[in-house]
Amino acid sequence: MNDEERLDLRTELADLKANGARRQDLSQHACKRLFFDFGIRPSMATVRDLTQTGSASDIPKDIDAFWTRIRSASRIRIDGGAIPDALQERAGELLGQLFQEARHLASQSLEIERNAAKSDADTALSRLHDFEVRFATVNEALLRSEARADAALAHNSALEAEMHALRDRDLNAQGGLHALIQRLESENDALTKRLDAQQLTNATLRDRLDTLNYELRQNTEHYAQQIKDAVSEAERRVKPMLVELDSLRGMAATYQTSVRQASQKEFDFIQQLSTAKARADRLELQLREKSDEIDELSSERDTLRAQSGISRSAARLICSLVEEGRLLNKEILALGTEVDAFIVLPSRCPTCMAGEPELAQHGNEFELSCPECERSSGATASRIMAVACFKTAEMLDASQQVER
């Protein structure tokens, strides 16, 4: 069966499930399609993979029910007629050979499924190791990204300190320029006041204008020269400061550009860190899913190992005899733990009919007890002995006497 046929069969089973089909119906339908349409012997793993429902104990029951229906439909009944003794003997030999061949084929099928389960478990362990290596690599990359982010933050702090220093120098230069302008304004005010005083003096002494005209002209030229020299001196001292101010403004613009670039780099680092974290979360989720698959395979492997010692039909026959009380304590003790994997625990306590019995294991001893009425089987050597002692009070007393 190729992938396309498997996908079509899954879609068909999903439609049946959406229409309200039960688990037994889904398993029966999957078994019929596999056996009649594809010529594949239904197994628990194949049916569970197709239906996506049912536990490790329910699916084998559904498969057994399917084979029971097939055998019932294919059985030929002869209502009348006499069969010769020789033919009956040959028919018995043929049935014995068929039984031996069926057992041989069943053993081969069990060995193949066991090897497949072991191969799947080894593959899952290998993939788990690969995921652990990839997780360690991602963790190292994450640590390196955090180190680079810390370095970028330190560099950003250094740039901020340098920017504060440049701002302080700019403020100091502006303060000196304001002080110089105030001093020049005060000198200009003083000269203006002196000129006004001289004009007042000239107004009051117009009668002496002719005699003092030459002296006044000389004094005026002298004062004008002083003002010109003062203005020239002020311009000579202010121009370098203006040039330095322009240089500081250019340095501030360069620093702001560097700050923007550092902010962009920091944003890129944060994005890379978020991507690495998301990838690590996905890897952790995949690791948990694979761990769950490994646990399921281990449980399935333990169940197969526990049931490989005795045939299913013989074990069920023994369990039914124990449940009906047709076996003695000595016979049950002789069985040991060979059929413990097939025994079914009672769902209700026979005394209170309300409690659900619980099975506890202490070393090599088993004890089945009811949490509601405290009915107990006592310490027994196997699960089947615990169930037998729990069901009937007489067997419980007899078991306790044997233990004493």
Q: What is the pLDDT of residues 241-280, one digit of tens each?
A: 777 777 777 887 887 887 788 778 778 778 877 787 787 7
How many helices and strands in the chain, by DSSP H and E? Answer: 10, 2
Cα dihedral 251/256/258/263 (nearest 10): 170
Percent of the chain residues topping a pLDDT of 70: 84
Residue-level pLDDT at 401? 39
Q: Where are the domains of the chain?
A: 1-72, 132-307, 312-403
Residue-level pLDDT at 87? 64
Residue-level pLDDT at 297? 67
**H or E segment and range at residue 132:** helix 85-204
Q: Tell me how crowded residue 173 is: count the other CB atoms within 10 A of its CB.
A: 15
pTM metric for this prediction: 0.26
Residues 60-91: pLDDT tens digits?
888 888 888 877 765 444 344 455 666 656 66
Residues of the chain under the 70 pLDDT cut:
1, 73-93, 95-96, 99, 103, 202, 205, 216, 295, 297-312, 325-326, 392-404
Residue-level pLDDT at 250? 80
| Burial of 202 from C-beta contacts in 10 A (0-12 / 13-18 / 19+) | middle
Residue-level pLDDT at 378? 80
Contact 293, 128 (CB under 8 A): no
Residue-level pLDDT at 376? 81
Residue-level pLDDT at 394? 43
**Length of the chain measured in residues:** 404
